[in-house]
Amino acid sequence: MMQVSVVGLGKLGACMAACIASKGFSVIGVDVNPVTLRRIQSGEAPVVEPGLAELMAKTKDHLTGMDDYSQAVLQSSVTFIVVPTPSEEGGGFSLRYVKQAAREIGRALRKKNSYHLVVLTSTVLPGSSAYGVIPLLEQESGKRCGEEFGFCYGPEFIALGSVIRDFLNPDFVLIGQFDQRSGEVLESFYRCVCENKPPVSRLGLINAELAKISVNTYVTMKITFANMIAALCEQLPGGDIDAVTSALGLDSRIGPRYLKGALGYGGPCFPRDNLALAFLARQVGMRATLAEATDTYNRTMADSLVKRIASLLPAGATVAVLGLSYKPETCVVEESQALYLAQRLASAGVPTIVYDPLAMENARQVLGRTVKYADSLEQCVREANALVLATPDKEFARLGNGALQVRSGQMVFDAWRMLRGQYENNADTPYFALGIASPGQNMPQHLEDLWSESLQRAV
Ligand SMILES: NC(=O)c1ccc[n+]([C@@H]2O[C@H](COP(=O)([O-])OP(=O)(O)OC[C@H]3O[C@@H](n4cnc5c(N)ncnc54)[C@H](O)[C@@H]3O)[C@@H](O)[C@H]2O)c1
């Protein structure tokens, strides 16, 4: 069985290493963080991700951690680079860590006398492989790419919270290949690892690099489109985003996924990939106006909801923000709309109490003393006059299934329409949902005038 090394054992790399090991490969993990290495060595998960701890425990004998690139490269035939590519001012991705890793891998390749495949998994912009990473590997190894070693760009389309399932069951595998041989080695590797026989798309390096960020830019555009329609629904009497998207999603050109109409997108990938595409466009003398508009609109989401809440809230009322992470079942708060919402409420002077099942500590680092932190969902609900469901965490379904009571008169703002079935049209609970017109919403007067005027004209 092929031996594999994975450089960078963070949120993606640790899961990849464990998944690859679970398929019987011997995996050597390399990281610069000693705490991460200690965890790997003792068979523990270095990051929080559902299923990872169990997989690490199961694959303990197939997975080792070290900080020695040479040994890792010499003892394996494929090396994946999964180090951070942080966003830079202006939207591009820094290759700083990728280059550090490539330099070390190149030096190790110099000592090797058999073929080795280097796979760059970190998200990069078009041209990074051909003009940044491969020349460095060649320089440090003294070898030619395509002869003594091969190179692929092999990005992953995973979501935090389902990294293991997504890695093992991808919609498709995207491979940017330097040459046929490199692509073939990587394709046959993925065929052993993936559980769902996914289609494999093998492209040149530039096109694969562009395809990777295009996927996320497209998805964010679709999410934002639904959010825009949801905002329109709120302005029209009887407007209901769920009704509209249930029809829209039936059109095979559109499809139902990512068409929710709720709070905007967030997290460590979507916002930055979108901005990176816009950055790329500017570098080649054009404007990716669609990507820019998506980002601009997305950044208004928290403010719009705060405005709506503030217009309905009695003065001095305390608001509970339920959910702080950028999506359920993760502790990550990077670019989280829920966190932005809490931040905006607090800075608008609204007394705010917050609760999240996993993200309290991370949220505390950002929100500091501007809000109150509840120890439990119960406490958060008890101490507030109004509740905002900011993430669709399944724990909050307790508010709708009788496990936890909403007090009579307590307002509910439901950004994900989780409790619609329970509270809509409930006389005891003033219920407002994102994407649904408020009860009693009137047709804007000028629009009513416009239609009646045209009726007169028609008559
Ligand atoms: N996390 C995601 O959801 C996701 C999804 C798709 C793509 N990606 C991409 O994958 C890459 C990694 O992301 P992540 O979320 O796993 O990052 P992360 O910050 O969670 O982990 C990166 C790891 O790399 C290690 N590292 C840094 N420099 C190193 C070096 N020179 N040598 C060895 N190890 C080094 C760090 O110690 C850390 O353990 C990024 O380019 C990211 O854009 C991430």
What number of other Cβ atoms are within 10 A of residue 33's Cβ? 14
Q: Whose CA is nearest to atom 35 of ligand 1?
A: 8
Judge whether 154 and 175 are in contact, CB under 8 Å: yes
Task: Tell me the CB-side half-sphere exposure of residue 239, using CA atoms within 13 A.
Answer: 23
Atom of ligand 1 nearest to the CA of 121: 10
What tokens does 407 get? 């007090």
- Apex 111 CA angle, 108 and 113, nearest 5: 120
Q: What are the respective helix, strand and coil percentages of the chain, to the nearest 5? A: 45, 15, 40
Confidence of residue 459 (pLDDT cuts 50, 70, 90): low
Tokens of 316: 């001095």
382 CA distance to ligand 1 centroid (A)? 40
- What is the rounded CA–CA span in Å between residue 39 and residue 37? 5
Catalytic residues: 269
Up-side HSE of residue 319: CA atoms within 13 Å toward CB?
Answer: 29
Least confident of 324-328, 370-374, 450-454: 450-454
Query: Taking the alpha carbons of 106, 111, 117, 119 in that order, is the dihedral positive or negative?
Result: negative
Which of 15, 44, 70, 83, when mutated, tests ligand 1's pocket best, judged by the most ligand atoms within 8 Å of its CB?
83
Distance 81 CA to ligand 1 centre (A): 9
Rounded distance, CA 374 to CA 434, Å? 24
Confidence of residue 42 (pLDDT cuts 50, 70, 90): very high
Mean pLDDT for the stretch of residues 361-372? 98
How far apart CA 288 and CA 281 sit, in angstroms, is 6
Strands (E), 170-225: 173-177, 200-203
Percent of the chain with pLDDT over 90: 91
Give pLDDT tens digits for 232-246: 999 999 999 999 999
Q: Is the pLDDT score of 261 beyond 90?
A: yes
Location of structure tokens 């509209």: 244
390 CA to centre of ligand 1 in angstroms: 27
Say if CB 434 and CB 230 are below 8 A apart. yes
Closest CA to 258 of 303, 213, 214, 221: 221
Kindly give the residue spans of alpha helices, DSSP state H, lying in 236-350: 241-248, 270-283, 289-298, 301-312, 337-347
- To test the pocket of ligand 1, the residue of 11, 15, 153 to mutate (highest count of ligand atoms within 8 Å of its CB) is 11
Which tens digits make up the pLDDT trace of 103-122?
Answer: 999 999 999 999 999 999 99
Contact indicator for 413, 440 with CB cutoff of 8 Å: no
